[in-house]
Amino acid sequence: MKTCPKCKSEIKISKFGTHTVEAKCNCQKARYFTDSGNDDDARESYIRKLFRNSKPSVQPSTIKTEPVSKSTPQNIPISKIEEYFPTNIVPRDIQKQILKEIETSIKSGFKKIVISAPTGVGKSAVGVAIAKYFKDGFFITKSKSLQDQYTRDYSFLRPVKGKSNFECLKIMEKQKVDDPILAKELGYTCEKGDCVEGTEKNENGKDVTVFCRFKRPLSNVTSTDTQNVDDCSYYFQKYYGLVSSFSVWNYSAFFQLMQNESVFKEHLQKKVSIFDEAHGIEDQIIQFIGINISKNQLDECQIDIGKYDILEIDELLEVLNIMRQFYGTQIAELEKRMEVDKEKVDVKLLGRFESNFKNFANAINEINNDPGNFIIQDSTNDYANSVSVSIKPLRISNYVEDFFKTEYQIFMSATIDKKSFCETMGFDESEIAFIDTPKSPFPYEHRQVEFLDMGILSAKSPPEVESGAIRRIDELLTKHADERGLILTQSKSRCWEILRGLSPENKKRIRICHSTNNDGKTQDDIIDEHRKNRASVLLSSSLWEGVDLKDEDSRFQIIAKVPYKSLGDPRVREKMKKFPLWYDSQTIMTILQGFGRSIRSNDDWAITYVIDSKIHELVNKTQKIIPKAYHDVLGIENVS
C-alpha cells in the first residue's frame, strides 16, 4: 500500500462518479483523477502531483563541441545516432554535427536537449534518427499540417489526431448516412458522438463503463492490426498510435494523454519525446492549467457573478467552491437515481458534471497552494465572449513535470534560446544541453532583410508616422506588382488599417488571412486561393509561423509592426513586469519565425522588409539570446 511521502498515512482512494476517483491522505486536501481501474495508479498520480519537485539533482558534464572537417565523407557516420538517419536522405554536414553533439550530450548524462536550428537544416530527419536510435518515441508538433508533413516524409510514423477529424459511425448509423466524407461535411464527427452508453456491473459487482460498440478496446489493438469497417476511426488511430513504436501527435492530444497517464501507463513507456516548434510550448501548457468559467456554467449554477469581486482571491474561491458543490450534488443525485432507483440517466450529462467537479476542485487546490501565482481576467461585461472569468498561472514551472514523462526529451525549434526557455519552464540550465546551429544553410543573398526605419509604431505614434508607414507598404507592393507576397502585423485591427490605406490597385491583391475568418473560410482555404492568383498578397496577424510559402508563393514579405504581445492581457502584463526577458524574447522569436515563412529551401529566395524602427531597440536588448543563424541578416557581430 502506497503511503504519503510527507505524513506517511495511507492514501485513501474512493470512487467519485463513473470514471473519477478521489485521493486523500491525512495532510493534504483531496485530489481527483481519471479512474484507471487500479487504485495504485491513482495513488502514484497523487504522489507525483503533490511532490513533483522532489527529484535528485543531476550534475552533467560540459558539452565539448568537436567541429567536423569539411573533408569528412558524407557517407561515413561520425556518430552512432547518425547510423539511424533516414536511408533515403544523405545527411548534410550540419545534420551530422548536430547528431554528434546530441550523442555527446547523452553520454554526458543530459536527459533534456534543446536544439536551435533554422529552417532548412532538416530538423525532422534529425528527430527521426534520434527516435530510431532509442528504438521508439513520440513526435509532438503544433498543427495537423505539420503532422501530415511528418507522415508524408516518414511513413512509419502513426498520426494521432483529434475527434473533429473523424466521422462518428454511431451518428451515421442513426442518420442512415453511409459515406464518411458526407458525414464529416454534415458535421457528424466523433466530437459530437456519445462514446459512453452507461454502466453495468462486472463479475465482481463493480460498476464499469459501457462504451459505444464501435470503440474497440485498447487491449484488442496491436501494431500489426488493420482497421475494420465497424471500428471507430478516431479510437482506432489513437490506440494504433499508442501501441506502435513511433507516433506523431499534436500538443493538445499529447498533453491530454500525459494527464491521463494512469489510464494509458502501459503504453507510455517510450524512451524519448521529440517536441517540434518547441518555442511555443508555454502557450500549449497554459491551456491545461487554471480554469475558465463560462457564462453557461454560471447560469447553470445560478450564480450572480456581479455580487462578487472576483479579482479578489477570497471571493473568487467562494465562487469556485459554490460551483464545485453544485456539480458534486448533481453527481450524487444522478448516481442515486442509477443505483437506488435503477433509473437510466444521461451518462453524457453525468460525465460533464464529473469533469466540471474535478476541474473546479483541482483549481481550488492549486490556487490555495500558491494564490500569488494566479492571474484573473474578468470578461463578465464582454458579452461577445463565452468565458466570463479566466484564471491562469503566471509561472508554469510548477506544472511542467506533469507533461514530460519520457526519460529523454528533445526540444527543437528555429527560434529558441536556452536562457529564456529554462526560465519559462523552470529548468535548471546546468541540466539542459543546448545546441545552437552556427549559421543558416541558406545563402545570405537569398534571405536578406532591409530595415526601412519608417518610425516607431505604437498606440502613441503621431498620425503622420502611421500614414507614412502604410504609404511605404503601398510603394513596396507596387515595386513587387507581379509577385506574390506576405504582410505580417500584430493585430486584426491593424490589418484593416493597412488595407484602408492602400491604393485601389493594391487593395485588389490583398487577401486577409487569419486562423479564423469571418467568411467561414479556413486559413488553408485562403492560402490555396493565394497560390492560384498571380500577384496575390496575404495580409495577416497570425501567419508568423506554421505556414510554408515556398518559391513563387511569396517572393517578398513585409514586417509592418513589431508584434509585441498585448498588454491588455493581465497575464502578459504581469509576466512582463516580473520577467522582462520573457516579453522581449517572445517578440524577437516571433519576428525570426516570420523571416522564415517565404524561404523554405536552398534554392528559394525572398526579401524581407521591416517597416517599424522599434526593431533596432529590440535586437539590441535581445542579441545575446538570438540564435546564431540569424546574426548575419540582423547585423549582429561579436556578441559575448
pLDDT at residue 605 in the model: 96
**Distance, CA of 248 to CA of 456 (rounded, Å):** 42
**Distance, CA of 598 to CA of 617 (rounded, Å):** 25
Asked whether residue 531 is assigned to any structural domain, the reply reads yes
**Distance, CA of 209 to CA of 202 (rounded, Å):** 10
Tell me if 36 sits within 8 A of 42, measured CB to CB: yes
Res. 57 pLDDT band, cuts 50 70 90: very low
pLDDT at residue 55 in the model: 37
Tell me if 211 sits within 8 A of 196, measured CB to CB: yes
- Hey, what's the torsion of the CAs at 288, 294, 298, 301, to 10 degrees? -50
CATH number of the domain where residue 496 is located: 3.40.50.300
Asked whether residue 21 is assigned to any structural domain, the reply reads yes
What digits encode the pLDDT tens for the residues 146-184?
Answer: 899 999 999 999 999 999 999 999 999 999 999 888 999
pLDDT at residue 36 in the model: 67
pLDDT at residue 62 in the model: 31
What values do phi and psi take at 466, rounded to 5?
-60, -50
pLDDT at residue 592 in the model: 96
- The total of structural domains in the chain comes to 4
Q: At what angle do helices 580-595 and 614-622 cross, to 10 degrees?
A: 110
Asked whether residue 91 is assigned to any structural domain, the reply reads no
pLDDT at 214 over 50: yes
pLDDT at 272 over 70: yes
pLDDT at residue 400 in the model: 92
- Scan for cell 494564490, then name that residue: 371
Single residue among 220, 240, 270 that ends a domain in this structure = 270
Tell me if 233 sits within 8 A of 184, measured CB to CB: no
What global pTM score does this model have? 0.84
200 plus 342 within the same structural domain = no
pLDDT at 478 over 50: yes
167 plus 260 within the same structural domain = yes
What digits encode the pLDDT tens for the residues 397-416?
Answer: 989 988 999 999 999 999 99
Asked whether residue 419 is assigned to any structural domain, the reply reads no
What values do phi and psi take at 468, rounded to 5?
-65, -40
In order, the DSSP letters of 4-20 are -TTT--B-EEEEETTTE
pLDDT at residue 59 in the model: 33
505 plus 559 within the same structural domain = yes
What digits encode the pLDDT tens for the residues 485-520?
Answer: 999 999 999 999 999 999 999 999 999 998 878 777
In percent, how much of the chain has pLDDT > 90? 69
The grid coordinates of residue 417 equal 534560446
Burial of 300 (0-12, 13-18, 19+ CB in 10 A): middle
- Residue 546: DSSP 8-state: S
254 plus 372 within the same structural domain = no
Asked whether residue 567 is assigned to any structural domain, the reply reads yes
What digits encode the pLDDT tens for the residues 119-144?
Answer: 889 999 999 999 999 999 999 998 88
Res. 290 pLDDT band, cuts 50 70 90: confident
The grid coordinates of residue 292 equal 475558465
pLDDT at 145 over 90: no
State the average pLDDT over residues 420-438.
94
479 plus 628 within the same structural domain = yes
Q: At what angle do helices 93-107 and 123-134 cross, to 10 degrees?
A: 40
A 10 A CB-CB count for 12 gives 14
Q: What is the mean pLDDT of the chain?
A: 89
What digits encode the pLDDT tens for the residues 217-241?
Answer: 999 999 999 999 999 999 999 999 9
Instruction: Give the HSE-up count for residue 350: Cα atoms under 13 Å, Cβ half-sphere.
Output: 24
A 10 A CB-CB count for 220 gives 9
Asked whether residue 477 is assigned to any structural domain, the reply reads yes
600 plus 469 within the same structural domain = yes
266 plus 296 within the same structural domain = no
pLDDT at 619 over 80: yes
454 plus 522 within the same structural domain = yes
Percent of residues in the chain assigned helix, strand, coil, to nearest 5: 45, 15, 40
504 plus 361 within the same structural domain = no
628 plus 525 within the same structural domain = yes
pLDDT at residue 459 in the model: 83
pLDDT at 56 over 60: no
The grid coordinates of residue 10 equal 495511507
- Residue 391: DSSP 8-state: E
356 plus 261 within the same structural domain = no
Asked whether residue 257 is assigned to any structural domain, the reply reads yes
Asked whether residue 195 is assigned to any structural domain, the reply reads yes
Q: Quote the domain boundaries for residue 610.
A: 444-634
State the average pLDDT over residues 357-372.
93
- For the chain, the residue count is 640
589 plus 454 within the same structural domain = yes
What digits encode the pLDDT tens for the residues 517-567?
Answer: 877 788 889 999 999 999 999 999 999 998 889 999 999 999 999 999 998
Q: CA 336 → CA 19, 137, 330, 358, distances in Å?
A: 16, 44, 10, 19
pLDDT at residue 640 in the model: 62
State the average pLDDT over residues 247-272.
92
Res. 17 pLDDT band, cuts 50 70 90: low
Res. 51 pLDDT band, cuts 50 70 90: low
Tell me if 477 sits within 8 A of 550, measured CB to CB: no
